[in-house]
Structure 1
Amino acid sequence: MELLAGSYEQVLFGFTVHPEPATRGDHQKWTPVADFTHHAHTASLSAVAVNSRFVVTGSKDETIHIYDMKKKIEHGALVHHNGTITCLRFYGTRHLISGAEDGLICVWDAKKWECLKSIKAHKGHVTFLSIHPSGKLALSVGTDKTLRTWNLVEGRSAFIKNIKQNAHIVEWSPSGEKYVVVLLNRIDVYHLDTASVSGTITNEKRISSVTFLSDSVLAVAGDEEVVRFFDCDSLVCLCEFKAHENRVKGMFSFEVPEHHVLVTASNDGFIKMWKLKLDKKVPPSLLCEVNTGARLTCLGVWLDRVTDAKKSLPSTAPFPERARTNKTECGNMVQEEGTPEPGSKKPASTGDREKPAKGARLVPAKRRRTTALLEKKKKRKMQ
């Protein structure tokens, strides 16, 4: 497996971890080994997502970078959004969904790396999105103080809820029967069947990351050193433990044989792996830690296994077609910038050398970095 963390210093860190055989007691240790550091973006990293083959990173430089973890090479950059990339989510091996400060949610073909659909999702920034385990629904929150439900089968907005505050995180539970919406230090728990708040959890400080450990237990981290486990049904805090020396910026949980693991990343530069107990009232034990020496902003774990190879968004979804010319109100489809006219050349896909369509393209990383440097020089001359 590989631990991946983005930083304010524009670097993506990769550490390989080889799990040791299970032993009795709590003294088992795993050893992370530095695999790579990659400085591809021209601004701090803001999001990372992982599937069975690729890792993608989003940045304040408005681009999405793709890394092939099987071949250990950079795959190029997606240029479509205008604004910081705020969230990235894979669904299976075929689709990537991105959200950004331009208010757009984009659906990408993760084989050809083409933008299949561009949705004007929010009147302000898209701050977070989450895909239902079935792949039929998605949730997004934005700075327009709305929670929006998206019908991915039909590719349209299904429901809009005014939440009176700017939410910055939304997350489905593993079963998809409930979801949580985070507003500053408050977590509202919703049930899918009623779409209404069933309870509220209050954290001591602003929340920066949440992850479900089970369908009822939620791990919560924020602008403090502590991680807390909450029961989403009783709304009580099951346990808390000091995880870092500074605020926790990202968490990721997964299961391997005989282990349920929680990974945390912090502004203190450390990535830590914790072995969870069956009883979530008992704090986890530390498996390993590594110091990157950077201020970490986002976290992902590449497990090098094909667990989602057959998962893709519903086949009835309109995504395989290019975006239609239908520029309407917020929540409906908008025409993808640079959609080719009939008879024009098809936009370049992975490996093509022809110039891609403007606004939704795969750009070689070296060319993009050169362009960015030239733009900076022009701005300096104009000042």
Structure 2
Amino acid sequence: MAAQLELVAGSYEQITFGYQVKTGENEWTAKADFTHHAHTASITAVAASERFVVTGSKDETIQLYDMKKRTEHGALLHHEGTITCLEFSGTSHLLSGGEDGLLCVWSTKTWECMKTIRAHKGHVTSLSVHPSGKLALSVGADKTLRTWNLINGRSAFIKNIKHNAHIVRWSPDGDRFVVVVNDKIDIYKLETASVTGTITNPKRISSVKFLNNSILVVAGDDETVRFCDVGKAKWVCEFKAHETRYVF
């Protein structure tokens, strides 16, 4: 029997699209499910929980969409400047980063901003919440990698890096993380907070995703999707997937 997935995408045309994807044995099919046009500028960040879809935009707002009721759920206003990154921490909290250098923690029950952290000098480029929900990582335009204690909302560790990183991601088990700068991926071990390996993509990297604790999927400014073994810091597989750069 075919499984069914929900796919959500944001566009430069200010619209969020939702699709129901059926994964059959021989064929996958996608059917349009909903559209949400609440922004007045292009969408720059998307995140989803079990119930809600949130989108950030250059219009400085975070828009909420209730997947259960299939209705708009309002807007969050706190950042000054483009919303650059969004990520849920379980079902209880949402984290947002912005061009204003702020990292905000929102309650998904009341949608109130519970904590505002001055995270970076310059914009926050990426954030990632540890699987435990107790830590978060952020990178910004000030060439720093910062670890945050989400229990008290304070900085736990700051590491200076030579360049402006644009992606940071925890592994599913939370024992390592990766930091992306242009075409390079640095692999860190949490226990030592040190780089255990580095791998270089032929082109600038636009997106990464852990399939499991060992395999990282990488896409960038060429037509190829590549798979990296982060334990060995080696490419293990690749395939041509599209005609232009890819984001997932």
TM-based fold match above 0.5: yes
5 Å-filtered alignment, 1:261-340, equals none
* Distance in 1 (alpha carbons) for counterparts of 2:107 and 2:85: 17
CA distance in 1, matches of 2:183, 2:116: 31
- Structure 1 stretches of 4+ with a deviation exceeding 4 A read none
Match of 1:208 in 2: 206
Relative to total residues, which structure has the larger strand share, 1 or 2? 2
Match of 2:166 in 1: 168
Largest Rg, 1 or 2: 1
Match of 2:223 among 222, 225, 239: 225
1:52 aligns with 50
Q: CA RMSD in A?
A: 0.9
Give the alignment's TM-score, normalised by structure 2. Answer: 0.96
- Cα pair 2:93 2:105 within 8 Å, conserved: yes
Matching of residue 15 in structure 1 with residue 13 in structure 2? no
1:202: how far off? 0.2
Q: Do 2:90 and 2:133's aligned partners in 1 also have CA atoms closer than 8 Å?
A: no
Cα displacement (A) at 1:249: 1.9
Q: Which has the higher contact order (CA 8 A, sep 6+)?
A: 1
1:137 to 131, 135, 138: 135
Unaligned regions of 5+ residues in structure 1, if any?
A: 251-383
- The gaps in structure 2 that reach 5 residues or longer are none
Aligned to 2:82: 84
**Secondary structure in structure 2 of the residue aligned to 1:249:** coil
Q: Structure 1 CA distance, aligned partners of 2:28 and 2:219?
A: 23
CA displacement, residues 269-307 of structure 1 (integer Å, 9 cap, x when unaligned): xxxxxxxxxxxxxxxxxxxxxxxxxxxxxxxxxxxxxxx
Q: State the Cα deviation string for residues 313-355 of structure 1 (Å, max 9, x = none).
A: xxxxxxxxxxxxxxxxxxxxxxxxxxxxxxxxxxxxxxxxxxx
Cα deviation per residue 1:46-105 (whole Å; 9 max; x = unaligned)?
111111100000011110000000000000111110111111010111100000010000
Please say if 1:246 is aligned against 2:241: no
Secondary structure of 1:248's partner? coil
What is the CA-CA distance between 1:122 and the residue it aligns to? 0.3
Determine which structure has the larger helix proportion and give its number: 1
Query: 1:108: which partner in 2?
Result: 106
Equivalent pair of 2:141/2:164 in contact (CA under 8 Å): yes
Between stretches 5-14 and 180-189, larger displacement belongs to 5-14
Cα separation, 1, equivalents of 2:129 and 2:90? 11
**Alignment correspondent of 2:63:** 65
Deviation at 1:140, TM superposition (A): 0.2
Structure 1 residue corresponding to 2:31, chosen from 33, 37, 42: 33
**Alignment map for 1:354-365 (pairs within 5 Å):** none
Kindly state the Cα deviation for residue 6 of structure 1 after the two structures are TM-superposed.
0.5
C-alpha displacement at 1:37, in angstroms? 2.2
- Distance apart, 1:18 and its partner CA: 3.0
How many equivalent pairs are there?
Answer: 244
| Structure-2 separation of matches of 1:223 and 1:128 | 19
1:159 to 157, 160, 166: 157
Distance 1:158 1:117 in 2: 16
Of all paired residues, the percent bearing the same amino acid is 69
User: Paired residue for 1:128?
Assistant: 126
- Whole-Å separation in 1 of the counterparts to 2:126 and 2:200: 20
Hey, what's the Cα distance between the residues in 1 that align with 2:238 and 2:21?
A: 26
Distance, in Å, in 1 between the alignment partners of 2:89 and 2:133 is: 7
Kindly state the Cα deviation for residue 38 of structure 1 after the two structures are TM-superposed. Answer: 2.2
